[in-house]
Structure 1
Amino acid sequence: MRTKDEILVQYASINNILQSLLNLNDQIWFIPIQLDKWSTSEIVAHILFWDRFILERLSLLQSQKCLTKANINVDEFNRKSANYAKSGVTKDELIQQFKEARFNLIHFLEAFSEDDFSKIYMIQDKNQSLQDYMNAMVDHDNFHFNQITTFLIEKGHY
């Protein structure tokens, strides 16, 4: 399991990947990575939306010390993020929004002490630490950015 510092480093390292995505042409940016899958732009928007959601939820955790199950339809949430990527937002704007959201999330996580980071909370009907929760989110990031990297390598753009 990653430590708090390892999670923060992993979260910050996404900027390197995002920087490389700025060089993609729009055709590659918007093409689905596989049949019936999202495009790179939709994946970036997906993670952006989840970062914003996590930050909002963790703000509650900090004040309430527990998080009840979020009233969220995940499929609809994901659909909205994908639609946002196709709404006319430019690649540069989307990447900048992602960087800002990620910076804010990292900054927020830094404020938690090591003890509070490893402390057990009630998060969506489960007893888990913020460390456990954020480790799962790092895995989520890695899954999606590995998809993008594999796609770009196959297309000769990485």
Structure 2
Amino acid sequence: MSKDQIIKEKISLIEWVASLKEISNDLWFNPFKEGAWGIADVISHFISWDKFLITNRVSYIYHNEEFPEVNIDVEAINKMASQYARSGISKEELISEFITVRKELVSLLQKIPEETFSEPYPGRENMTIGEYFVGMIEHDLKHKEQIVKHIKKE
């Protein structure tokens, strides 16, 4: 996938998430199934991981620097995202924050030279930087599909 396609995919999720302002607050917080996340949790999860990418990956890729040593506790990040989604922040505020953070991520991706996307991903010589971001897009789309199914079910 080219840099432009990666950016288009990241932007398309902004437009789609913005459309979620129309759903009810009940549906926004309603879990997909017993003990699972709801839509609010997923949007907060997107924000958390976009911030992680901005801080710990994209700026280092842009400057062609080694990634910082970061202890990534996926469960803790996801739990904090869910807690944040249910902290009293409104649906509109959470969506607005997602849009702001995702636009920042896109802006930084746009600054990375096209050829960088075909270079090896640091620490994983069998994966390119472009392939890494394709994996992030697949992650976005998996969660988007969960949300779409949940909305249709309700």
Query: TM-score, normalised to structure 2's length?
Result: 0.93
More deviation, 17-26/98-107? 17-26
AA in 1 matched with 2:59: S
Unmatched 5+ residue regions in structure 1? none
Aligned to 2:28: 29
- Aligned position for 1:85: 85
- Long gaps (5+) in structure 2: none
Letter in 2 for 1:77: I
Moved more, 88-97 or 54-63: 54-63
**C-alpha separation in 2, matches of 1:24 and 1:34:** 18
Pairing 1:8-157 to 2, within 5 Å after superposition: 8-57=7-56, 58-67=58-67, 70-122=70-122, 125-127=123-125, 128-155=127-154
2:52 counterpart letter in structure 1: F
State whether residues 65 and 121 of structure 1, in contact with CA within 8 Å, keep that contact through their aligned partners in structure 2. Answer: no
Shift of 1:67: 1.9
% identical aligned pairs:
28
Q: Distance in 2 between matches of 1:115 and 1:64?
A: 12
Greater Cα shift, 127-136 or 54-63: 54-63
Question: TM-score scaled by structure 1?
Answer: 0.90
Residue 6 of structure 1 corresponds to 5
Aligned-residue CA RMSD in angstroms?
A: 1.3
Q: Which moved more, 1:7-16 or 1:65-74?
A: 65-74
AA paired with 2:111? A
The Cα of 1:64 is off from its aligned counterpart by: 4.8
Q: Is the partner of 2:22 in helix, strand or coil?
A: coil
Contact 2:61 2:112 in 1 (8 A): no
Query: Across the two proteins, how many residue pairs are aligned to each other?
Result: 152
Query: 1:68, CA displacement in angstroms?
Result: 5.0
Q: 1:69 to 1:137 in 2, by over 3 A?
A: farther
CA deviation profile, 1:75-111 (whole Å, cap 9, x unmatched): 0110000000000111111000000111010110011
